[in-house]
Chains A and B, each alone.
Chain A
Amino acid sequence: MRFFDKIFGKKNDKKEEKNGTLASNSLKVNLDYIKNKLKDCDDVIYRDIWVGENQQYNLAIVFIDGLVDKDLINDHVLHSLLLDSRQADPSIEKIKRNLYEVIKKGTITGGDIKEITDLDKCILSILSGDTALLFDGSPEIVIISSKGWQMRSISPPEAETVVRGPREGFTETIRVNTALVRRWIRDPKLKIKQMQIGERTHTDVAVLYIEDIVDRNVLNKVMERLKNIKIDGIFESGYIEQLIEEDWHSPFPQVLSTERPDKVAASLLEGRVAILTDNTPFALIIPTTLATLFQSPEDYYERWMISSLLRILRFLAAIVALISPAVYIAFTAYHPGLIPTKLTLYVAATRQGMPFPAFFEAFIMEATFELLREAGVRLPVPIGQTIGIVGGLIIGQAAVQAGIVSPLMVIVVAVTAVASFAIPSYSAAIAFRMLRFIFMILAAVFGLYGIMLGFMIVLTHLVVLKSFGVPYLSPFVEIDLSDLADTLIKAPIMYFKNRPEILDTPDRKKMKDLREEKIESIEDDRRDNNDKKQ
């Protein structure tokens, strides 16, 4: 019996969800329904009003205090309804026949309104900051868009600052964020598909793409996975990221998160899909490959040579962040013969009387550093600096003087730390930080061979990994030369004539060939000259 109950119970639930509750003709019934649903919610404001010559028509507005723009309601709803409507003089006949139409079309001066008949949807709109206007004698409800809460103004993105480039970052409001992207791309083909995810939070989630550029396979996968999310609440785009990513075993981020509208716009033009989530400044970019984690928007604003050098520097930084403590362990513990003799002697001298083996020494220092970093993040800014001084200077210095760690080790740890901050993507940097410890363990067990083993295992993981159908290591695999121009180096902008080969974009051309144009113009000049001579 319970089994049947379960089945039928579920079915009933679904029906209710689909149809909702239709509003009735009576204002009182509708209001009672809403009041009943929003019982004990003291931030909801109900306002009954009478309009008409003899104050004979009953209306009510419902909104939530704090979520709405009070000025808008006062000036464009209440003022219009209560005062302006008296000055106008529509015939009584007309009013009698259709008060609803008159008010909707002729009275309310708010910009964005829509009408619904579903009471549950009405409640959802009220909860998202809209104002509901209910009529006596009409089952239709007018929803006036009046969202206007206290929000953070647009400010520079904190995690992704650039020297050259726009300073604006996303904010916590999805509407502002979509507008920021729109301002970059004024193309009717830029589509913003909005949906609500989270059975309780009803968080607004917008999927952005450019219709004739986007890789359809990726888009379909994103849409399908978003639709399959059944969760009570979405907080931060990190929830979505974790729910739609391919392989949750992986330490590497398969979705790129960014606070920068220019980065989102550029990715959209490459044929990627972006997801914006309400209440967070972090947008998601899909698909993501290893190479994109090393790209910074600034690379494209600066000239190519400096950008290329910076790219190479970042890749080197990633390798340094990944293996330098492991290399230290391997060389001091296993292969002192492989480094220059003078250095070997120096290392041996500094390690004289050291109580711990190299691995333990490296592990202590790395762990201490991670600890300091974590503590520094938690603390308020002024105290955070104190922690930096205490940790970096005092502990480092004291540890060396006490003979617990060698000075070389302190340098290695410091270089590693600096290197790990050179990776533009924070989540990628975390991946390298985590893997560093595995490399250290492998180096402690097998020396240099352990590091090679580590590389082989990480590479195996990476060649298998895909982000929404795109191989994670592309374009290094399934090699395409034009794509490689934007990986280890950033070629001059003339070389980016086409969109990335790894994405299946219908509109491939990105730019007309500048060089061809130049040649053409030179030829034109020559022809002109010849004509003149003749």
Chain B
Amino acid sequence: MIKNNDKISANQVSILLFTTMVGAGILSLPADVSKEVGPNGLIAILGGGIASLFFARLILYLSSKFPTETFVEYTGKLITRPISIVISIILVFYFTIFASLDVRIFGEVLKIYLLPSTPIETIIITMLFTSAYLVRYGLEPIARMSEILFPIIVIPLVLLFLPTLTDIDLSNFLPFMRVSLVKFFKGMLVTTYSFVGFEILYLLFPYIINTNKLKRSVNSAIISTMLFYMYITFFVVGIFGYKETREQLWPFLTLIKSINFPVFFIENVEGIVMGIWTFTIFTSIYSFHYFATLALSKLLKTREHSYFVLPAVPIMYLMALIPDSIVTVYKYAGYVSQYMSVFFIAILPILLFIILKVKRLGDKDEEKT
């Protein structure tokens, strides 16, 4: 068996964060923000991105105080062992839930656009096993996989929208900022689902080689994710207008369907986009899959995370099949992102930060290293 030393560089962290965050959310994000803030979706995404950046840096700061430990270990020092265990278990489930949600949405989309007669169970189980095959080998191959897929995901998606540039009606973004502040915050809140993924920083820190460059790579990851979302939302809302956008389940795909290059061989780019989107979802699924098993292995103090990779597959499979329809899937996704995500992204880091400052812990560890 090939040994991988399981350390990744700051650049790889940046790409891993991007590919983890960009996942199923991209399909529904324009509709979600249009529902809440109307024409000001772009600004809501900007706000959500900046908030995410702030909390990501906070999580990074917390982790850097305990450079050799993951979340599971250092929270034991901050908020007593039993509470830490409970939160860690929730964290494992949290990652598992996101992997399941992603794979379920993936299955639904694929069933509608590519494989109408294939049972969704088959799509889900093959995707999960493919993810398990990669995750078994650990962090280093995962980071490399993200590096390979990153340009394949980003470049075609950015280029594909350009021909529709002329269809954009800028008045679709007016009136500017005429929403109540509460609505605006709600709009920011719905973007959380799309930004979910940077929580992996809780666990990632001990596996990074050049930690001094890490701040920059977290910044660039979250800012580029935000810009990528804004780019897509700009096109979707700019062409359809917010009223039409919010009525749709996946406005992103609707827009794709409307693009065609008659000059080229492919009449509609749906097939290509489905291919790219398979990669997009794959990167998110294996990332959540890996960090769920990693957190679990830290929790149970086993040497290898790979013991849990295969057992996680049936669990994620069953969880993915719990919602009975795509509407319920999004209802659950809403619950999870608005309660659990907000807890892990915002409330928990603030709490931990306060406790850290009160207890004056961690500084000692930093001096040692």
Contacts and interface: CB of A to CB of B under 8 A. Distances in A.
A465 B2 contact: yes
Contacts of B282: 456
A61 to B, nearest CB: 53
Interface string A457-484: 1011001111000010100111100000
A479 B266 CA distance: 32
Interface residues of A, number: 30
A463 B147 CA distance: 10
Interface stretch (A199-207, A208-216, A335-343, A499-507): A335-343
A214 to B, nearest CB: 22
Of the candidates A340, A446, A463, the one having the most CB atoms from chain B within 10 angstroms of its own CB is: A463
Interface stretch (A136-144, A167-175, A447-455): A447-455
Contacts of B170: none
B243 interface: no
B115 interface: yes
B147 A449 contact: no
Contact of A471 (B110, B130, B144, B270): B144
A464 B2 contact: yes
A247 interface: yes
B134 interface: yes
Interface in B100-148: 110, 114-115, 118, 122-123, 126-127, 130, 133-134, 137, 141, 143-145, 147-148
Interface string A427-451: 0000000000000000000111101
Contacts of B141: 460, 463-464
Contacts of B127: 453
Contact of B267 (A341, A451, A477): A341
Contacts of A464: 2, 4, 137, 141
Nearest to B283: A456
Given A446-B126, A464-B141, A338 B148 contact: no
A453 B145 contact: no
B2 to A, nearest CB: 6
Given A338-B268, A460-B134, A464-B4, A453 B126 contact: yes
Contact of A448 (B9, B130, B148, B274): B274
Interface in B152-178: none
A452 B279 contact: yes
A246 interface: yes
B268 to A, nearest CB: 7
A392 B110 CA distance: 39
Contacts of B137: 460, 463-464
B314 interface: no
Contacts of A446: 115, 118, 122-123, 126
Interface string B253-284: 00000000000011110110011001100100
Interface in B1-24: 2, 4, 9, 11-12
Given A334-B114, A335-B271, A338-B266, A452 B144 contact: no
Interface string A303-347: 000000000000000000000000000000011001111010000
B133 A338 contact: no
Given A334-B115, A460-B134, A448 B144 contact: no
A465 B9 CA distance: 18
Contacts of A338: 266-268, 270-271
Contact of A340 (B133, B149, B265, B279): B265
Contacts of A449: 110, 114-115, 118, 123, 274, 278
Given A448-B114, A478-B12, A340 B267 contact: yes
Of the candidates A343, A459, A465, the one having the most CB atoms from chain B within 10 angstroms of its own CB is: A459
Contacts of B126: 446, 453
Contacts of A451: 275
Contacts of B114: 334-335, 447-449
Contacts of A456: 130, 134, 278-279, 282
A95 B155 CA distance: 85
Contact of B2 (A447, A466, A479): A466
Nearest to A327: B271
Contact of A479 (B11, B149, B267, B279): B11
Contacts of A246: 2
Given A338-B270, A464-B4, A478 B147 contact: yes
B81 to A, nearest CB: 36
Contacts of B149: 459
Interface in A470-519: 471, 473, 476-479
Contacts of B271: 335, 338, 448
Contacts of A340: 265-267
13 contacts: A247-B2, A335-B114, A335-B271, A339-B266, A448-B274, A448-B275, A452-B275, A459-B145, A459-B149, A463-B144, A477-B143, A478-B144, A479-B11
Given A338-B268, A459-B148, A477-B148, 9 more contacts: A335-B271, A340-B266, A341-B267, A453-B130, A456-B130, A456-B282, A459-B149, A464-B137, A477-B147
Interface of B: 2, 4, 9, 11-12, 110, 114-115, 118, 122-123, 126-127, 130, 133-134, 137, 141, 143-145, 147-149, 265-268, 270-271, 274-275, 278-279, 282
